[in-house]
Amino acid sequence: MVGRTAPKYASKTLCRIVIVEDEAIIRMAIAEAARDLGYQVIEAGDADATLDYLASGQRVDLVFTDIQLPGSIDGLELARQLKRRYPNLKVLLTSGRLAAETAQSVAPFIPKPYPVEEALVRIAETLTSQPSDA
């Protein structure tokens, strides 16, 4: 988005985000850019790995997940489970195939394709949003 910059988020270095994307190039691009901004980033290729990570007791502030994922559940079901299990955890969804209306009923959504900068803006916005903003 032209002219938009990521909003300031207090203590970015303390923010831990999980990027769930089965396309490694996309995942790595977002992860690298987020790390450059000071976020702690965990990368996952599917929902199962994300759930395992969270079950280990690791603190996470936001999960940014694609909807089309390999494994036992897709990103939409991952978001639903995360909202039930971890009500304070922020979730941001993305997809190039799903209608925004479907995803936005579960969590904030950014359609693919998107510039990396736009993803970072949406991550920051989601981190600073109130729980009812989903």
If you average pLDDT over every residue of the chain, what do you get? 88
What's the pLDDT tens digit per position in 4-49? 555 554 445 579 999 999 999 999 999 999 999 999 999 999 999 9
- Which pair of tokens denotes residue 59? 């603190």
Q: Which domains does the chain have, with CATH numbers?
A: 12-129 (3.40.50.2300)
For residue 133, pLDDT beyond 70: no
Output the DSSP codes for the chain: -TT--PPP-TTGGG-EEEEE-SSHHHHHHHHHHHHHTT-EEEEESSHHHHHHHHHTT---SEEEEESS-SSSS-HHHHHHHHHHH-TT-EEEEEESSS-HHHHHTTS-EEESS--HHHHHHHHHHHHHS-GGG-
- How far are the Cα atoms of 18, 60, 69, 84, 125 from residue 56, in angstroms, in the given order? 14, 11, 21, 17, 27
- Which pair of tokens denotes residue 56? 């280990």
- Tell me the whole-structure pTM to 2 decimals: 0.87
